[in-house]
A and B are shown apart, each in its own frame.
Chain A
Amino acid sequence: MATYRPSQMRQQKAQTAPQEPNLVPIMNLFLTIIPFMLMFVVISQVALVALNFSSGEGGGGSSGGGGSGKDLEKVEIIVLDSEYAKTNKFLGFEIREPGMDAKMISANNENYNFVALDRLIKEIRARKADLVDITVTVYPYVLYGDLIRTIDLCKSNGFTQVHYNRAVASFY
């Protein structure tokens, strides 16, 4: 009498785990959406621009200086204001560099020409690759936003030690 073992197929069918829903299309959708969302999202983040006054910087005084304390090859960017423009008929930037004539960058319709300033700073950077110090001298009626943009251009072009200086000290 022949004996038969239980069917293996029946056993397998009984043990089959319930199938999970197919998540691949959903994942594909997410993978498409996320890069677009990240690309278009606008996140306002507070950044910081640092000035170091740790070694004798005058803190807005007319003397300037600061940084390492050694004799520096002083490149200076002077941001001229509207009061200066009234008397001297010029609004914009004046750039002083040792051994070179002072360069003037005039404003366009009372807006400072930051593009030209950026170009000039790049030229200075190309000539003086090792220099990291630069002085920004600001006149009193220059707007804060213009000052920060000037400092920002210096820093973005590798002048990491920006010295803050004000043109007129009339208090105390």
Chain B
Amino acid sequence: MESKNSSNRKTRRVRRKVEDVKGLSITSLLDVLTIILVFLIKNVSTESVKISTEKDINYPSTITNDLLMEKAEVTPVKIFTDRIILGNESLNFGSPQDLLLSTDKRKAIQQYLKVEADAIYNNSSEEVEACLIVQADNNIQCEYISEIVKIGTSVGYTRIYFATLEDPDWLKNTNVASR
């Protein structure tokens, strides 16, 4: 009996215990993604048209923020202190002073905006409205803005938007500064 047991021991196969392979933990990855998601949601813009900010323009601050119309086709007008850039093609139409002093420049701007407005109304459905987005520097005089607004409305732009930076506290800061 004893000898039988000893033979069994000899023939017994000894298997090495296979350690369980731990799966990669994606919990940390999920945490990181959640954080990124929070920032993305914070920064997301629901505007149908992306308005690029210009480094050379010092935007005014506003408390209010009007949403762009749902069915709006936009033509940007960027008024720098030294130049006026029109349209998505960023065409240079000279300096703001030219807008007042040169009849040719004024007519060229009017003609360009008219072509753009006509293209919007001809190529789109009836409900679409042509909108002008004016991005101008804080220190531009209003006579240039008025002229652009006048030209824009005369060629068929029904809505004019002014690009600003949203700052709910600008009035409070003004209050503190004036004390």
Contacts and interface: CB of A to CB of B under 8 A. Distances in A.
Contact of A144 (B67, B141, B159, B161): B141
A152 interface: yes
A30 B138 contact: no
A14 to B, nearest CB: 9
Interface string B146-171: 11011111100111111111100011
A53 B159 contact: yes
Given A45-B45, A143-B139, A152-B64, A30 B162 contact: no
A125 interface: no
Given A21-B25, A61-B150, A118-B171, A48 B65 contact: yes
A47 B20 contact: no
A107 to B, nearest CB: 10
Contact of B146 (A138, A149, A155): A138
Given A164-B149, A166-B146, A143 B140 contact: yes
Contacts of B141: 140-144
B66 interface: yes
Report the contact-size class of chain A (Cβ under 8 Å from the partner): 35 or more
B171 A115 contact: yes
B172 to A, nearest CB: 9
A27 interface: yes
Contacts of A38: 38, 42
A153 interface: yes
A20 interface: yes
Nearest to B175: A115
Contacts of B28: 23, 26
A9 interface: no
A118 to B, nearest CB: 6
A50 B153 contact: no
A129 to B, nearest CB: 19
A68 interface: no
A115 B174 contact: yes
Given A38-B42, A52-B158, A47 B65 contact: yes
Consensus secondary structure, chain A interface? mixed
B174 A142 contact: no
A57 B157 CA distance: 11
Nearest to A109: B178
B153 A59 contact: yes
Contacts of A140: 141-143, 146
A50 B145 contact: no
Contacts of A164: 146, 149, 160
Given A44-B53, A47-B62, A171-B147, A30 B35 contact: yes
Contacts of A18: 20, 22
Contacts of B158: 52-54
Given A43-B43, A47-B164, A152-B62, A139 B178 contact: no
Given A20-B27, A49-B65, A54-B129, 20 more contacts: A21-B25, A34-B38, A44-B53, A45-B165, A46-B164, A46-B165, A48-B51, A48-B65, A48-B68, A50-B160, A51-B161, A53-B159, A113-B178, A115-B178, A142-B141, A142-B142, A143-B138, A149-B60, A151-B162, A156-B64
